[in-house]
Structure 1
Amino acid sequence: MAADGSALSESRLSSEALDRAVLSAHTALSQAQQDDGHWVYELEADATIPAEYILLEHFMDRIDDALEQKIAIYLRRIQSEEHGGWPLYHNGKFDLSATVKAYFALKAVGDDINAPHMQRAREAILDHGGAERSNVFTRSQLALFGEVPWRATPVMPVELMLLPAKAFFSVWNMSYWSRTVIAPLLVLAALRPVAANPRQVHVRELFVTPPEKVQDWIRGPYRSAWGYVFKGLDSVLRPVVPFIPEKTHKKAIQAALDFIEPRLNGKDGLGAIYPAMANVVMMYRAMGVPDEDPRAKTAWEAVQALIVEKDDEAYCQPCVSPIWDTGLSGHAMIEAASGPDGIAPEKTLSKLKTACAWLRSKQILNVKGDWAVRNPNLAPGGWAFQYGNDYYPDVDDTAVVGMLLHREGDPANADSIERARTWIVGMQSTDGGWGAFDIDNNKDVLNHIPFADHGALLDPPTADVTARCISFLAQLRNPEDEPVIQRGLEYLRKEQEKDGSWFGRWGTNYIYGTWSALCALNAAGVSHDDPAVVKAVEWLRSVQRADGGWGEGCESYEGGPHGTYGESLPSQTAWAVLGLMAAGRRDDPAVARGISWLADQQDANGEWHEDPYNAVGFPKVFYLRYHGYKQFFPLMALARYRNLENSNSRRVSFGF
């Protein structure tokens, strides 16, 4: 039976239809490859980033009316008809903070507040407690426009930048994204600039209580008793901060700049993520740095590079994902070219050779990033997520690229693979798992400070990233790595949910996590009859939908059921069948039904379509839609299904 209780379809795809589907998808993916060998697809978030971009232009008085009108079209399109506000993901529930920012941005571009869409949004905001109940980052944005007093934000003195790495509240105990966002924000909070706001747009109508009369801006809901403790500490520190000596204050601002400026990252921007980049732009303006200054000019250009502009609308991406997209596309391409019936192997392998050469050129070999604070003797060797982000290579990307280079087999890849292997081994945390960017970044109590109301201040080890590292190391089969792999497997076993699934920290969600873990267990040689594998397989079978596909919504991060959604989705179905095939179940009828569903959903151009979000930045706070997932994962699944038909063992021989 399916997850919804319906009888499952029994259809099975013919070998001819399978070959056509693989060829068509392979052709579409090949055509998306850039001339220099890489792939990059759009990366979409919610209304927050596009709205913040509009507000950034008004903060700076650098207004591009034509672009803003296109962004406004995008914002109006994604407004919910159901609740009148803006959700954090496709068809999601009302989100107060996203709605406040979207409303403010639309008002800034000239939308009449009495227009029906604005009225519905305003009423929804007021019904949910008003803008005064928005999150910390939204209140900081409002403070920059003078809409709320700075006491609406938690106490975060710039003097935090002076704390050594061993100090509990040190920025070095926070995640990479937190460090890069916070450092320029601390300077802004210290200088307290007011936006240029040339059209004098204000949003007092969004407050239930006038901002100047709000007595308590920081009032939960707290996730633990620590919330109350830190609220008390905030109350104690607030009257003390103004008495910090001016000399210390200036020293702290300089410490922030000393952190930021080596990491400005040229045209890719600080941390290569929008919030940090935008904060730097505003920071330089607040410091009086001219827009023509090379630092300020490049910071502004880095933000512009995130804009996706189409004929009728535009939006701002939170970042770009070329390394990730290229690594995953490469795996799909090499799968399509594998086996006795591989598609145009000479042409495909030539494209892969170009992609691998591009990836080798992006490996970070000469910069010791922030990760070196925890392991200063480790040599660099990772890849970032974006085009350039040398201080912040990503463990997950590095494992994916390393597996691709190893599988592609060019001797020119050997040094890159070994540098990546050494770096991955050195990035293992003490509990046996791997985080995305840091080692042992797991002081969970910090997620309870008032500033961290988003609950995503840290980068602890996770099952999906750990699984990818195990897969990479196991694929290389170096005997000296066996203890590292075994510690990782122990971590994975501890992280398995009671229902047999694994949590997906960076992809939606339990289907993604379970696929990742099953790949790792297979690569490490764990028996397909191992209880953990069997339990995971039974869970995947249990959540298959009646049409043969799988789907899971972002609601699963918010207490919703694991592995379910209102429709089947290409990316999720591909993950599920890839996971089952990694567990030795290529001939399972559930896999055949999933493969048939994928082939049936493919369009005439060899592509798939998927509106729901398929990944997560921060659970409950920030979700993502990778536009490439719906293309390269289905191809990977279809091609692997075809290739395993001719495999005597039915065992996937690679880590991914």
Structure 2
Amino acid sequence: MPADGSALSDTPLSRDDLDRAVRNAHATLAGAQQGDGHWVYELEADATIPAEYILLEHFLDRIDDALEQKMAVYLRRIQSDVHGGWPLYHNGDFNISASVKAYFALKAVGDDINAPHMRRAREAILDHGGAERTNVFTRFQLALFGDVPWRATPVMPVELMLLPRSAFFSVWNMSYWSRTVIAPLLVLAALRPVAINPRQIHVRELFVTPPEKVTDWIRGPYRSSWGYVFKGLDVALRPLVPLIPSKTHQKAIKAAIDFIEPRLNGRDGLGAIYPAMANVVMMYRAMGVADTDPRAATAWEAVQNLVVEKDDEAYCQPCVSPIWDTGLSGHAMIEAASGPNGVAPAETLEDMKKACAWLRSKQILDVKGDWAINNPNLAPGGWAFQYGNDYYPDVDDTAVVGMLLHREGDPASAEAIERARQWIIGMQSTDGGWGAFDIDNNKDLLNHIPFADHGALLDPPTADVTARCISFLAQLGNPEDAAVIQKGLDYLRKEQEADGSWFGRWGTNYVYGTWSVLCAFNAAGISHDDAAVVRAVEWLRAMQRPDGGWGEGCESYENGPRGTYGESLPSQTAWAALGLMAAGRRDDPAVSRAMSWLADQQDETGAWHEDPYNAVGFPKVFYLRYHGYKQFFPLMAMARYRNLESSNTRRVGFGF
């Protein structure tokens, strides 16, 4: 972009410059491929996870001072200069829960509470109501360290593990991430251990009211009148929980352990997500299981595998994303090698053969995971997000990988593709959409219980995941899938926003959702002149920034403006351009200007750079920064723009 921030020239990118940008980006992406064929990029969240990791070491008295000091460097770096606390995403507003955890962690590693950065953080926390106003998970953390009484946490008796699927409060009615986090947490809440905390670090100075004097820990804000109802239920149940017979209590703890241990998942950990994994580590310690016990030792190793350690700083990832990164990188690599001017097709084909073989080896074919509770007769056939997470494959990864294997064309992938097809069809929800991990996981009232103050206890169908499933099935082109696809298309039409966009549940946000759906419509043969397509195209055009790029902030999940941000971003510009090309607008000046912006932003090594967060775990609560997005999506967009120049139909011939 010009130094003064003005618009780029409307002169189209020359063919030589376009080829050079694609070639350089391809080389950079190819250089990141691992020896066995897969890609994996860093996956970064906010201050919460590294802070929790530090506190976990202090809970256990397994302190690695050198590592913690590096994490402290990271935490200090991402502290806001504007409000003094910690946000949930790049340049975001103050978040009290993330700030309390980050402050606690920095105090634990030895930061002086009177140091300027600690004083600013403490003042911001107190100005926002103090640590008593933190979310449920933070109050559980504080309870484990004895900084708040256990009555600061909602009533969540371990006896929940005994409830059948038909019971409203059953864990089987919650999302996969909720089940895996809750099961060990319920055991911890039942046993109520106290952290070893060898340095006896506490944070009473963060409370406006002394914790022992707080009388109302659960006071909203409530999403509806049901919040008040469930708070009343919490009050009513609290004196009854101690009356539960000991035999029932022990049976419930055993039920939790019986749920957890088959799903421990080796070095990848329970659910392959940090909160569940850390809770398991603390659970075993609370149960008196020795650290040398294989279960406890492997659970601890799984947590440590999430740490990213660099020369001067370190942080802990919420999970890892190799299947997702490999699938998306593969699509970009194939796009770059396609067309009459494809980059190094022979080498790329060999790289892709290796990547696809690695992906086939990761398909889950012999474990019926939790998804089977709603479709017990369905055969497994999906892929997880992480290296290993057999109980929890997701349809989004499965669709992306399935499309890649089909596109790559190796006959060895035929059975894997068919197993994936059958599994995805079987995972469709009643309303025609697809959730990420479960079928009909949509009992919305559960999001109003006190424990669910994050509002993400469930995994209902979403437009972006549904779009990917339709794209996959449409790309395969089996006539017998027409009814399934049509039902999904009907769902997407109902989900379109009034302004023409679609909500992006797993990527930021309306630009991501709109791109995803336009790809699905194109793959399914929906006319480029269809009213829904035209409205989406006009929305994307309206959101383009003067410099030719697109950007959207995580604020759009928090009732902020949709489709806009303070700067253009490589990943979002690529999504918007891909969406417009999927809608038949390859020659639209908006796409041409996007290509010029992407070429202008590429560095001399062929890479792009992007600091803002580009995805979401839980809207309003937990955001993500995929480090690979800034590389493989711009390559995909620029290569497709080049390839469509020689197409007679200008229609993308595949689903992604």
In the TM superposition, what are the counterparts of 1:152-551 in structure 2 within 5 Å? 152-551=152-551
| Structure 1 equivalent of residue 632 of structure 2 | 632
DSSP-derived class of the 1:604 partner: coil
Q: Is the 8 A contact 1:523 1:655 kept in 2?
A: yes
Q: Is the 8 A contact 1:551 1:567 kept in 2?
A: yes
State how far apart, in whole Å, the 1-side matches of 2:327 and 2:392 are.
17
Q: Name the aligned partner's letter for residue 643 of structure 1.
A: N
| Structure 2 equivalent of residue 579 of structure 1 | 579
| Structure 1 equivalent of residue 61 of structure 2 | 61
After superposition, the C-alpha distances for 1:386-436 in whole angstroms (9 at most, x for unaligned) are 000000001100000000000000000000000000000000000000000
Pairwise CA RMSD of aligned residues? 0.8
Tell me if 1:142 matches 2:155: no
Q: Is the 8 A contact 1:174 1:459 kept in 2?
A: yes
After superposition, the C-alpha distances for 1:311-360 in whole angstroms (9 at most, x for unaligned) are 00000000000000000000000000111111111100000000000000
Q: Name the aligned partner's letter for residue 293 of structure 2.
A: D
| Structure 2 equivalent of residue 50 of structure 1 | 50
State how far apart, in whole Å, the 1-side matches of 2:524 and 2:11 are.
33
Unmatched 5+ residue regions in structure 2?
Answer: none
After superposition, the C-alpha distances for 1:456-484 in whole angstroms (9 at most, x for unaligned) are 00000000000000000000000110000
State how far apart, in whole Å, the 2-side matches of 1:497 and 1:9 are.
32
State how far apart, in whole Å, the 1-side matches of 2:406 and 2:49 are.
37
State how far apart, in whole Å, the 1-side matches of 2:560 and 2:136 are.
25
DSSP-derived class of the 2:220 partner: coil
Structure 1 residue runs of 4 or more that deviate by more than 3 Å after TM superposition: 5-9
After superposition, the C-alpha distances for 1:269-309 in whole angstroms (9 at most, x for unaligned) are 00000000000000000000000000000000000000000
DSSP-derived class of the 1:527 partner: coil
State how far apart, in whole Å, the 1-side matches of 2:404 and 2:613 are.
26
State how far apart, in whole Å, the 2-side matches of 1:232 and 1:223 are.
15
Unmatched 5+ residue regions in structure 1?
Answer: none
Q: Name the aligned partner's letter for residue 610 of structure 1.
A: E
Q: Is the 8 A contact 2:41 2:628 kept in 1?
A: yes
State how far apart, in whole Å, the 2-side matches of 1:326 and 1:571 are.
16
* Deviation at residue 597 of structure 1 after TM alignment: 0.4
Q: Is the 8 A contact 2:22 2:635 kept in 1?
A: yes
Q: Name the aligned partner's letter for residue 171 of structure 1.
A: V
Q: Is the 8 A contact 1:9 1:548 kept in 2?
A: no
Q: Is the 8 A contact 2:8 2:597 kept in 1?
A: no
| Structure 2 equivalent of residue 120 of structure 1 | 120
Q: Is the 8 A contact 1:8 1:545 kept in 2?
A: no
DSSP-derived class of the 2:623 partner: strand
DSSP-derived class of the 2:308 partner: strand
* Deviation at residue 9 of structure 1 after TM alignment: 4.4
Q: Is the 8 A contact 1:9 1:546 kept in 2?
A: no
State how far apart, in whole Å, the 1-side matches of 2:284 and 2:208 are.
34
Q: Name the aligned partner's letter for residue 139 of structure 1.
A: R
State how far apart, in whole Å, the 2-side matches of 1:256 and 1:6 are.
59
Q: Name the aligned partner's letter for residue 576 of structure 1.
A: A
DSSP-derived class of the 2:624 partner: strand
State how far apart, in whole Å, the 2-side matches of 1:497 and 1:488 are.
16
Q: Name the aligned partner's letter for residue 295 of structure 1.
A: R
In the TM superposition, what are the counterparts of 1:588-627 in structure 2 within 5 Å? 588-627=588-627
* Deviation at residue 8 of structure 1 after TM alignment: 7.2
Q: Name the aligned partner's letter for residue 332 of structure 2.
A: A
* Deviation at residue 520 of structure 1 after TM alignment: 0.1
State how far apart, in whole Å, the 1-side matches of 2:374 and 2:136 are.
29
State how far apart, in whole Å, the 2-side matches of 1:302 and 1:551 are.
35
Q: Name the aligned partner's letter for residue 247 of structure 2.
A: K
State how far apart, in whole Å, the 1-side matches of 2:561 and 2:126 are.
30
TM-score normalised to the size of structure 2?
Answer: 0.99
State how far apart, in whole Å, the 2-side matches of 1:27 and 1:394 are.
30
Q: Is the 8 A contact 1:263 1:391 kept in 2?
A: yes
* Deviation at residue 12 of structure 1 after TM alignment: 1.0
State how far apart, in whole Å, the 1-side matches of 2:316 and 2:122 are.
23
State how far apart, in whole Å, the 2-side matches of 1:176 and 1:45 are.
19
State how far apart, in whole Å, the 2-side matches of 1:217 and 1:345 are.
61
Q: Name the aligned partner's letter for residue 618 of structure 1.
A: F
State how far apart, in whole Å, the 2-side matches of 1:392 and 1:58 are.
30
State how far apart, in whole Å, the 2-side matches of 1:618 and 1:571 are.
20
Q: Is the 8 A contact 2:433 2:463 kept in 1?
A: yes
| Alignment size in residue pairs | 652
After superposition, the C-alpha distances for 1:487-531 in whole angstroms (9 at most, x for unaligned) are 000000000000000000000000000000000000000000000
Tell me if 1:647 matches 2:647: yes
TM-score normalised to the size of structure 1?
Answer: 0.99
State how far apart, in whole Å, the 2-side matches of 1:595 and 1:502 are.
23
Tell me if 1:106 matches 2:106: yes
State how far apart, in whole Å, the 2-side matches of 1:25 and 1:520 are.
26
Distance 1:347 1:6, change over 3 A: closer
| Structure 1 equivalent of residue 74 of structure 2 | 74
Q: Name the aligned partner's letter for residue 160 of structure 1.
A: L
State how far apart, in whole Å, the 2-side matches of 1:47 and 1:12 are.
42
DSSP-derived class of the 1:308 partner: strand
State how far apart, in whole Å, the 1-side matches of 2:394 and 2:339 are.
31
State how far apart, in whole Å, the 1-side matches of 2:545 and 2:569 are.
10
Q: Name the aligned partner's letter for residue 178 of structure 1.
A: S
Q: Name the aligned partner's letter for residue 261 of structure 1.
A: E
Q: Name the aligned partner's letter for residue 173 of structure 1.
A: N
Distance 1:135 1:272, change over 3 A: same
After superposition, the C-alpha distances for 1:21-40 in whole angstroms (9 at most, x for unaligned) are 00000000000000000000
Q: Name the aligned partner's letter for residue 374 of structure 1.
A: N
Q: Name the aligned partner's letter for residue 304 of structure 1.
A: Q
Q: Is the 8 A contact 2:162 2:252 kept in 1?
A: yes
After superposition, the C-alpha distances for 1:29-54 in whole angstroms (9 at most, x for unaligned) are 00000000000000000000000000
State how far apart, in whole Å, the 2-side matches of 1:163 and 1:220 are.
27
After superposition, the C-alpha distances for 1:579-623 in whole angstroms (9 at most, x for unaligned) are 000000000000000011001100011000000000000000000
Q: Name the aligned partner's letter for residue 464 of structure 2.
A: D
State how far apart, in whole Å, the 1-side matches of 2:525 and 2:12 are.
29
Q: Is the 8 A contact 2:434 2:461 kept in 1?
A: yes
* Deviation at residue 10 of structure 1 after TM alignment: 1.3
DSSP-derived class of the 1:566 partner: coil
DSSP-derived class of the 1:315 partner: strand
After superposition, the C-alpha distances for 1:553-574 in whole angstroms (9 at most, x for unaligned) are 0000001111000000000000
State how far apart, in whole Å, the 2-side matches of 1:605 and 1:394 are.
34
Q: Is the 8 A contact 1:541 1:590 kept in 2?
A: yes
* Deviation at residue 11 of structure 1 after TM alignment: 2.9
State how far apart, in whole Å, the 1-side matches of 2:597 and 2:390 are.
41
State how far apart, in whole Å, the 1-side matches of 2:573 and 2:325 are.
19
State how far apart, in whole Å, the 2-side matches of 1:520 and 1:650 are.
16
State how far apart, in whole Å, the 2-side matches of 1:520 and 1:202 are.
52
| Structure 1 equivalent of residue 35 of structure 2 | 35
DSSP-derived class of the 1:106 partner: helix
Q: Name the aligned partner's letter for residue 649 of structure 1.
A: T
